[in-house]
Amino acid sequence: MSNRVAFVTGASRGIGRAIALTLSRAGFDIVVASPEVENNEAVAAEIRAGNGEALTLDFDVTSADSVKAGVAKALADKSRIDVLVNNAGITRDGLAVRMKPADWDLVLRINLQGAFLCAQQVLPSMMRARWGRIINMASVVGQAGASGQANYAASKAGLIGLTKALAQEMASRNITVNAVAPGYIATDMTKVLPDEVKQKILASVPLGRIGTPEDVAAAVKFLASDDASYITGQVLAVNGGMYM
């Protein structure tokens, strides 16, 4: 039997890159999908250096056409997509009272609508195979809220609702749909925060450390595996205890 195939959006760096590498080591062929073409190739080279298989896609989740074409190319090349990891995401922080409509729209389009478009394109092949895993990258902010992140919190809370609805729709086809909600993880997205903000966040983490992309990837690997076959519609928090 050919390897299972995992399609990872936003796989060019950070958590997405860690997920792609971790799933590759677990025996999956990886579709590295993001608009950062050079970074995609670097991640694919890393996967191949470890004897893994990788396909790269110049992939824009804000474009229904790009999503449709990308999924079609992956299916043509690999003949199957077993796991979809909706990891593509951005922030455009600012207080709600001053938030530009464009910053609200872009965050919702990438973080929430993008995940929906990807799931919609991938599901038919999973339904035919009667096996599938969709794993949506939520956030502790989608569970607890955060000042200055109304758009991001709304998009991630929306992703949790989408996860639960899809889980109910797809359960009869043996397709599980779950979310992973990372807390404070060391990535490019968090690196730019001022030091006093970082210290304040760290003080709110009972485990007393910043999470790594690999901590999140381990949770994704579990949900993508046969071991998680009786888990669906759940939110797995990887947050060091900062929200319980």
- 7: β partners: 31, 84
Task: Report, as residue numbers or ranges, the catalytic residues.
Answer: 152
* Alpha helices (runs of H) in 26-113, residue ranges in sequence order: 37-49, 64-78, 101-108
**Non-local CB neighbours of 141 within 8 Å, separated by 6+ positions:** 149, 152, 153, 156
Distance CA 221, CA 192 (A): 28
Nearest Cα residue to 103 out of 88, 116, 111, 93: 93
> CA 193, 197, 202: angle at the middle one, nearest 5?
110
